[in-house]
Amino acid sequence: MNEASIPPPISPGDWLGMIGGGQLGRMYCHAAQSLGYKVAVLDPDPQSPAGAVADLHIRAAYDDQAGLKQLSERCKAITTEFENVPAQSLETLASASLVRPGAQAVAVVQDRIREKAFIKNIGVPVAPYAAIHTPQDIDAAAEGLFPGILKAARLGYDGKGQARVKTREEARQALESFGGVACVLEALLPLASELSVVMARGADGQAVFYPSARNEHRDGILAVSTVDARSPDQAIAVQAANAALAIAEGLEYVGVLCVEFFVLQDGRLIANEIAPRPHNSGHYTMNASVSSQFEQQVRVTAGLPLGGTASLCSVVMLNILGDVWFDDATGLKREPDWPAVLAVPGAKLHLYGKSEARRGRKMGHVNVLGATVADAVGAASRVAHALGIPFQP
């Protein structure tokens, strides 16, 4: 987009739109409102976390034409909080409002087959994979893809729609259990670690990057993210940022974007997945960065200058799942020990306002700050103990 065609910034006091009413939308609302904007949220759930704090909650399906019309008539610019918004809905909104990110970029990312092909075609390494549409595709898959992981091409998240498979027969059974939907079969690789890069790219092509986070997943769900503000791994961080920028530029992406990477035991960096939105691993920015990833999303949506991404301190982010509401010994529900969490210096608690705690459901997170990463890790150990969360310093 050339400079002459870039719309002027949207001023505070005006309306911004959000499709999706989950916790990411909720934190976007808070960031937008702190900058003086009003936010309209489109989401069908009457108890959605974002709808509860938005200035207007449009209770409608993501493809409801009347709801989309109401959103676009109210809001000059609209963004999303998850990748599974129908691309057609974004195209509909774009006829009357700015939509960031655009439908074409989101359409690529919401389909793992297209996503893998796109990343590979722009020269960023990915794990060996095969597109799986039928059991015959499993029979024809290369031997090197086993053992592997079968992932549904669409609508999978937090480990859902995924199965580890050692043999072709296990892959066929997994494909059948997924209902025969299109999938990607990826080879399992010898991992040393996992990291992610959260970045933002404006309509003028300017981009900023947050320090990469080292991540630990459990059962396919992010559990811990760690950022060392003093001694980041510069070489791998630069490599990851360059790969993320190539992806964003290839998508002509405008918005906040996260790319998850695998670091292999031989030091190679492999792109895993793209999230066209703020990301769980970027929640640390809410307390440990000059501008949070949500403020950044507001800035891009409104056409404002991008915010600073420098770290203010080291940080460990602990995800809080609904499991911590259940007593391990009895299985009965009880309230977590929030006073013990908040007694830890540097602990910043963020709860998402969800009405019911369920095992495996994301309910909140704690950012634990420290002058050094050792300080943050030590304090995070105390927080994890108070919540009964496994934590390996």
Q: Say if residue 161 carries a ligand binding annotation.
A: yes
Q: Say if residue 217 carries a ligand binding annotation.
A: yes
Q: Say if residue 133 carries a ligand binding annotation.
A: no
Q: Say if residue 321 carries a ligand binding annotation.
A: no
3-state secondary structure the chain: CCHHHCCCCCCCCCEEEEECCCHHHHHHHHHHHHCCCEEEEECCCCCCCCCCCCCEEECCCCCCHHHHHHHHHHCCEEEECCCCCCHHHHHHHHCCCEECCCHHHHHHHCCHHHHHHHHHHCCCCECCEEEECCHHHHHHCCHHHCCEEEEECCCCCCCCCEEEECCHHHHHHHHHHCCCCCEEEEECCCEEEEEEEEEEECCCCCEEECCCEEEEEECCEEEEEEECCCCCCHHHHHHHHHHHHHHHHHHCCCEEEEEEEEEECCCCEEEEEEECCCCHHHCCHHHHECCCHHHHHHHHHHCCCCCCCCECCEEEEEEEEHHHHECCCCCCECCCCHHHHHCCCCEEEEECCCCCCCCCCEEEEEEEEECCHHHHHHHHHHHHHHHCCCCCC
Q: Say if residue 81 carries a ligand binding annotation.
A: no
Q: Say if residue 156 carries a ligand binding annotation.
A: yes
Q: Say if residue 283 carries a ligand binding annotation.
A: no
Q: Say if residue 22 carries a ligand binding annotation.
A: no
Q: Say if residue 378 carries a ligand binding annotation.
A: no
Q: Say if residue 273 carries a ligand binding annotation.
A: yes
Q: Say if residue 188 carries a ligand binding annotation.
A: yes
Q: Say if residue 162 carries a ligand binding annotation.
A: yes
Q: Say if residue 159 carries a ligand binding annotation.
A: yes
> Which residues are part of a known binding site?
112, 151, 156-162, 186-189, 194, 217, 272-273
> Which residues are part of a known binding site for ATP?
112, 151, 156-162, 186-189, 194, 217, 272-273
